[in-house]
Structure formats: C-alpha cells, structure tokens
Amino acid sequence: MELPLRALESSVTASRWLPWHAALVFGFLYLPIVTLIVYSFNGSGVGGFPPRDLTLAWYRLLFADEAIWTSVLNSLLVAIAAVIISLGFGIPAALALDRANFPGKALFRRLVLLPLILPGIITGLSLLMLFREADIKLSLLTIALGHGTALISVATTEVFAGLQKLDRSQEEASLDLGANYWQTFRHVTLPNLRLSIIGAALLIFTLSMDEIAVSFFLIGRDNTLPLEIWGRLRRGITPEINAISSIIFVFSLFAILIWYRLRVASEVQPEIAAELLESPAQGD
Amino acid sequence: MFSRAYRTAITLPPLVWVLVFLLIPYALLFCFSFWSVSPAQSIVHSWTFDNYRELLRVNVYLQTLFRSMWIAARVMLFSLLLGYPLAYYLSFHAGRRKDLFYQLVIIPLWVSYLVRAYAWKTILGSDGVLNTLLQYVHLTQHPLDFLLYSPFAVVLTLTHIYTPFAFLPIYASLEHIPPQLVEASQDLGASPFQTFWRVILPLSIPGVVAGATFSFVLSLGDFLAPLLLGGPSGIMISNIVVSLFGAAYNWPLGAAISFCMMVLVVALLFMSEKLEKKWSFR
C-alpha cells in the first residue's frame, strides 16, 4: 500500500464546515461591537431596525457631558496608579519566582495568580472588609490599590515569561565584570525585559480602565468610567453610551496593535490565558 | 549566582504586599463569615456558625447556587463548542491568515466587558435591534420577550464574553502538538478522523480543561450580566451577595456565601490542575 506524504496543512481533516463555523464564531464575537458602533450614529435611539437619521448628535452630547469626562480622568488616574503598583511588585515577584527559593513559594505563586481566576466580586469584597476593619475611607485610592493588587498577577506572568527567554550568562558576565546587583538589574536585566514590561503595562492599563467588579465595592464618592456607565445603564439608555464605548474601542485597538507588535518582537508565544493556569515555575 | 541580599530584595516587597492586600483580606472574608450583625447594624466580632446554618436552612441560597452552576455549565459547554473547532481551524487550516484570525479573537477581549453586555441588551430588548429586525422582515408580528431578562440572555452574553477565554488555552495546546506526531499517525495509515480522535484530541485535553475551567469559574461568579440582562429568573449567586453587602446589610452572611464560592472555585482549580497534569505529554 502506498502512503503519499502530504503537507501537514492539508493532511488533517479539511472538513468543509470548519471555515463556516469560524465565520459564525467571528460573527457572534463581532455582532455586538458592530451594533454598538453603528447605533452610536443612530438618531432615533439605541434600538430599532434599520438604523435611521444618522447623526453626530450623541457625540456632541458626549463631549459636553462633564460627568463622563471627570470619570474618564478618574479612570486614567486609577489605571496609572495600578500600572505602577502592579509593576512595582510584579517585576520583583517574577524575579523571585524565577531565582529565589523561600518557604511558601508555591503558595505565594498561587496567591499572586488567584485574583485573575477568582471572580472579581470575591477579591473586591475581601478588600472592602480590609479597608473597613482598618478604618480606611473608600476613594479612588482604594480602587487603585485593589486594581494594582489584583493585576500583580498579569505583571508577574508577563515578566516571568520574559525572564524565561533571558540569557542568564549576560547577567553573570555583568556581575563578573564588577557591576553590583543594582547596576546589573538596571543595565542588563531591565533592558532585556523591556518588551515584556511595556506589554504588561499596556495590558494592566487596559484591564484597569475596564475593571468593574472590584471597583464596584471599593468606590468612594468619585466614579470611574465603567461605574459611571453602569450608573447610567440603570437609569435608562441612550446612544451616548454607544458613543463613549466606540471611542474607547478605537483606543483599545491601538493598544492591542502595539501590544501584539511587542509580543511578536519579543518572540513570546502569544498565549495570555494559557500562561495563567499552566504552572509557570519549575523551581518549586 | 545571586546573593542572599539580592534574593531578599526581590522577594520581600512582593511577599509583604501580597500578604497585606491578598492573604489578609481573604482570611478576613473567612473570619467575617463567622461573625454577625447586631440589631443596631454594627458587626459583632464574636464567633458563630449561624451564617452557615442560615445558608442550609433557607432554600433560596442553595437554589440560586445551583442555578448559577447550571448557567455556568451551559456557558462552559457553548464556549468549548464555539472555541474548540475555531482553535482547530486556526491551528491546522488557516494557513497564512492564522495570525490575523488570532488577533481577531483577541480584540473583543479588549473591549470593555460592561460595554459588550450593554450591547447585547440593545440587541435583545423588546424594541431592540433583533426584535425590530425580525418584525421588519415580517418573521414575527410581536417582539419575542424571552430574549431579554431571562437566563437565555445571561448564557448568551457570558458565552460571548468567555469564548475567547476557552479558545486561548485550547489553541495554545494545539500549537504545542509536535507536527511529527500528526504525520506519523497519517503515515501509519490512520484516517483523518482517527488522527483527530486518537492523536490530536487527547493531546489537546489540557487546553480544553483550562478553557473549561476559565469559562465555568468566571461565569459562575458573575453579577453584572444577570443584573443587566437576567431579570428575576436570571439572578445568580453573586447578586445575592451584592444585595447582602448593599441594601440588606448582612455582611457576615454575604461573606459566608462568598467563602463557599471561593472554596468551590479553588477546588475546581485544583481538580483542573490535576487533570491537566494527568493528560499532559510533556
């Protein structure tokens, strides 16, 4: 019997329904996003087919809406603080998981990653209780602390993935040549991790801008953007929400474009979700 | 090669931070679940099992928990049914368009969760896009009212949100399958279906388990989609927790429910990790 060697591409069942299924899934994933954008231009409200009376009125309304822009500013502040906190502790955490052994290391790794997979409500509530018992007033600061802490997980996984690609002999050489640990970190380790760190920062920034479950419980008097939108959704909906969402979508597109370029550049396999459950540290 | 001082410097700050802002809060959740509320609405810091007794005594808590698990199970199933063939298609058939398609799956993840749930609301409402479209083409005379404010709407929206989460680990595990194994299977005369069933599918089980865990666990604890789209019949367990921490003001009971959820989630994570190890070929 003759077995022709075929290219791998065509050798696995090329069922005809697979491309159709893929098209269907993409349709399902993009239907709400397309609807959202189309109806941000719809003169007669958020529903109704076909869309009619195309207008920019909702965008004009949006740009005059101070409450929204205040909440955007609040969200930006929170996101910046979250990036600083989660990188500030996530980079050392990744280094520690990579190259230090200490009692409770396995538990530490699990604990750091837990907020990613645990429903946000549990992390939010737990922090709420902490702030209550410690008599700390809820404000944007408490939200930033919550986001920063929950997103250390993202910083750690991204930087840890970067560390796996790092050639340790460079650091060794630096140390042998008389640089101290800080100089080695500053001039050898950090530049090598640059792409992972920028990627992590982008991801954390976007996730924080969008976060609602933790913020929901830690909110003081000032709203973040998702909470402002949430408040409006409960009062009745207008395409103004479509308009602000469309604008954020465009910004997110830029962020993901940069993020993906970085991923390709740093040759880290793009598998955000997989890294999180696959135990990253072999050194337990 | 790293000195003790260096290792301390990288270990201590994150360790302390995580202790204060993660371990202590989770421990506090556990403590709260044994405390109670006084009639004057302050927290009584004395230990009691009353909250857990209450959970078993009042039917609505367990019922809602089971309903949430049922919703989460459906979301998991649909996410896998949508995600697996897509990952398989991308991995083996998409050719040069693979990267583009991959990014197309990722992009919706960057669109606000709240905004996507809201978008479904504008689609499913009684004068929403879908109902008016159906009437426009004369398929229906009246709006279909099961579309919104129903468990259906919650399952649909959560499936939309978590399909990429199911897709990603499956895709990663398919990409890790050495092509030689697939080639060997074919060279030895296996039909395409046999190759899939006996080689590819078993090797992708760790990814399936991870994807299933993500979609189940994350949708189990969701409270925004049910609030926005669920209506009275779509209430989930986290909604009860939210109301106990809000208007109903019974933090200890809310903490008890949350702690049960946490135990459930951690147990599921533990099981899925065991399963993944068992099926992993590396």
pLDDT at B21: 95
Mean of the pLDDT values across residues B66-81? 96
Mean of the pLDDT values across residues A102-115? 90
The CATH topology of domain A66-277 is MetI-like fold (1.10.3720)
Chain A residues within an 8 Å CB radius of B28? 126, 129-130, 133
Q: Where are the domains of chain A?
A: 17-55, 66-277
* Residue A24 pLDDT > 90: yes
* Residue A4 pLDDT > 60: no
Q: Where are the domains of chain B?
A: 58-279
Kindly report each contact of residues B150-153 with a partner whose C-beta sits within 8 Å and lies 24 or more positions away, as own/partner. Answer: B150/B230, B150/B231, B150/B233, B150/B234, B151/B67, B151/B71, B151/B230, B151/B233, B151/B234, B153/B120, B153/B121, B153/B124, B153/B229, B153/B230, B153/B231, B153/B234
Q: Of the candidates A155, A146, A88, which has an alpha carbon nearest to the alpha carbon of residue B21?
A: A146
Query: Residue A198 has which token pair?
Result: 């920028």
Q: Of the candidates B166, B25, B47, B170, which has an alpha carbon nearest to the alpha carbon of residue B108?
A: B166
Mean of the pLDDT values across residues A250-260? 82
Chain B residues within an 8 Å CB radius of A233? 114, 118, 121, 228
Q: Which residues contact A201 (CB under 8 A, 6 or more apart)?
A: A83, A87
Q: Which helix (H) or strand (E) holds B95?
A: none
Mean of the pLDDT values across residues B243-252? 89
Mean of the pLDDT values across residues B24-30? 95
pLDDT digits (tens, 9 = 90+) for B147-197: 888 999 999 999 999 999 999 999 999 998 998 998 999 899 888 888 899
* Residue B14 pLDDT > 90: yes
CB B140 within 8 A of CB B130: no
pLDDT at B282: 54
Q: What percent of chain A has pLDDT over 70?
A: 88
pLDDT at A14: 57
**Which of A18, A30, A88 has the CB atom closest to B85's CB atom?**
A18
* pLDDT grade for B100, boundaries at 50, 70 and 90: confident
Mean of the pLDDT values across residues B262-272? 93
Q: Which residues contact B261 (CB under 8 A, 6 or more apart)?
A: A119, A122, B220, B221, B237, B238, B241
pLDDT at B281: 67
DSSP secondary structure code for residue B36 in this structure: E
pLDDT digits (tens, 9 = 90+) for A72-92: 999 999 999 999 999 999 999
If you measure CA to CA, which chain A residue comes closest to B239?
A121
pLDDT at A267: 61
Chain B residues within an 8 Å CB radius of A95? 10
* pLDDT grade for A9, boundaries at 50, 70 and 90: very low
Q: To which residue do tokens 């919650």 refer?
A: B154
| Average per-residue pLDDT for chain B | 90
Q: Does a cis peptide bond (omega within 30 degrees of 0) precede residue A50?
A: yes
Mean of the pLDDT values across residues A221-231? 92
Mean of the pLDDT values across residues B34-52? 87
CB A37 within 8 A of CB A249: yes
Pick the CATH number of B58-279 from 3.40.50.800, 3.30.43.10, 1.10.3720.10, 3.90.1150.10: 1.10.3720.10
**Which of B21, B182, B262 has the CB atom closest to A118's CB atom?**
B262
pLDDT at B209: 95
